[in-house]
Structure 1
Amino acid sequence: MSAQEASMLGAIGLDERAERLYTDLVVHGAGAPDELASRCGTGGAETRAALAALAEHGLIAPQREGSARYSAAPPTVALEALLTGRRHALRQAELAAAALAEAYRTAGGDGGHGDLVEVVAGRDAIGHRVAQLQAGAVEELLALVTGRYDVVRADATGAETAAVERGVHYRVVLERQALDRPGAAAALFEAMDREQQVRVVEEVPTKLIVADRAAALVPLTEGAAGGEPVALVVRAPALVRVLTVLFEQTWEWAHPLGRDDEAVTVGAAPAGEPDGVDRRILALLLAGATDQAAANQLGLGLRTVQRRISRLMSLARAETRIQLGWQAHRRGWVPD
């Protein structure tokens, strides 16, 4: 880890040595360069460079004019001024990015839709887009992983680790063949340790990444036989919704993966098929029967019928009875 990466105040341009020196001045009071070097365990040249950086940021000043001793500026004043400046700079960068995006759409000559679907070719370019999706995710990242050719090695850029540390929730569905890869168990245990949810199915329909249900990446080709892979980055809301539904349907039928000491365990799929009683309840509901009438005809209690209907709606991912009926026909739970 570099000094800049280790600094908690790196966002305002301070490296670890400068931050340690400023903290020492805040806690222990003023000091001369040699004294501060001794207190902070740094060399003289490093201490002088850190003092120069702190002075440039307005965080320290000589105790009095001509003094060789430095004291810290009050953190509530000095740091807030720096943070305000950084916030302003970030806001200006956001405005510039919006202007560039508008210029990109205009230059595309396609009515402003040029950035809704982007074709990306080559492993490096695709890897960069994957890292961008993870770096930009705020809440959730969904992924389907095949057992075929790897376009991007898992967390090759560190973007996944950074996203998890920010609180991004990961849900991943693996193709069973992916479990046969060397090192698959170790990678799964690492993901589980970070509280990522992982499931497995016999075969996933395609590789897929969806970030915050706002952007997705899906391959057009896998790059087999020495060819370069090609992928689509999709930001068109309707297409992203379709790809999200594809993930959710795959997730619904996948088996959760767990851990037993050093072995991977596979649990029962949370989804399932309705039993005979469920199917008769569905048939009665579709024929227009009320919950109570269905309970009477089947010799069941009303609450039992309602619990079964609630489970069926969850199983079908239906929010209304009408959606449940449509899903029941689509899935073949009732005769046409």
Structure 2
Amino acid sequence: MLNLTNLDATSIAVYRTRVAHPAATAEQVSAELDLPLPQVHLADGRLAELRLLRPAPADGWAAVSPETASDLLLAEAERALLEQRTAVAAARAGLSALTGEYLDARSRRSGPGGVETVTGEEALRAVVHELSQSCRATVDAMVPVGAGDRAPLPEMPLDLAVLARGVTVRTLFQQAGQGHRATASYARAISTAGALVKSVTLLPAHMLVYDGTVAVLPLGPGPSGADAVVVRDPAVLQVLMQLFDQHWERASDFGAVEQHGGEGPSDLERAVLRLMAAGKKDEVIARQIGVSPRSISRIVAALMERLQAASRFQAGVRAAANGWLA
């Protein structure tokens, strides 16, 4: 640890004298400042520790500018700090990327009245229809990709009927869904009927939560159809609602054009950087964000150019240093 308290008034006076008189000996500095010679030697030692003095060829000392001393003294510490910040950001992104896997695995834990497995598209439709009819207060939907790209959740007729009963409906899409014709049409229809519709760059899971007491989580097409689980475990539901509310708070109105100014990244670029820092390839990033691999390649290339990075690792280091991964 650097001890900058060593830079006392005497040391500063000696430093100024050696800057003004580069060839001065310790005796001459002592006479110039009217200081005892041992104090001059002690100050020289303190300044050398801080790299403000370096040995001169004639067994004396040469003064170094504070900028140069800073580069010499702090370069290694700054490099270690950058690596640490990059590692922390990568770890955070990696853990966040596991949210979907956690919800999947946690929801599969069986227990009396806790989790129900649903197999097949018709069975899934029947479950959703029953829950839509029985809900009384809220429906919260998280749709990571465009409507129709996965299991048939949610469904517009059911949403319109729920809204007509005065139920509050909140639906979150990924921003990529704004360019999906069916998704955009669906969002406009339920919004007109009174639903609250927002979008965010990246969503971790596909789910429906009814009245905060039961959730449907599609797991993607299985061997026998569109598999899902129905969860009634209060602990899991609490996690799901916290996850939804966190994303809802930072989401923007569906269809709103992202306002991006200054030198920092847009929300989409930030999401790409975080997944890059987690070691994800372009194809995986494209699938999670919901855009084409070609679009991700263009975004990555543009980010590396803005960061003047020669590699993805270097781009992560510089993005972390700029605070872009926070």
Q: Report which of the two structures shows the higher radius of gyration computed on alpha carbons.
A: 2
Do the structures match in fold with TM over 0.5?
no
Higher relative contact order (CA 8 A, sep 6+): 2
TM-score tier (shorter) = 0.3 to 0.5
TM-score by length of 1: 0.41
TM-score by length of 2: 0.42
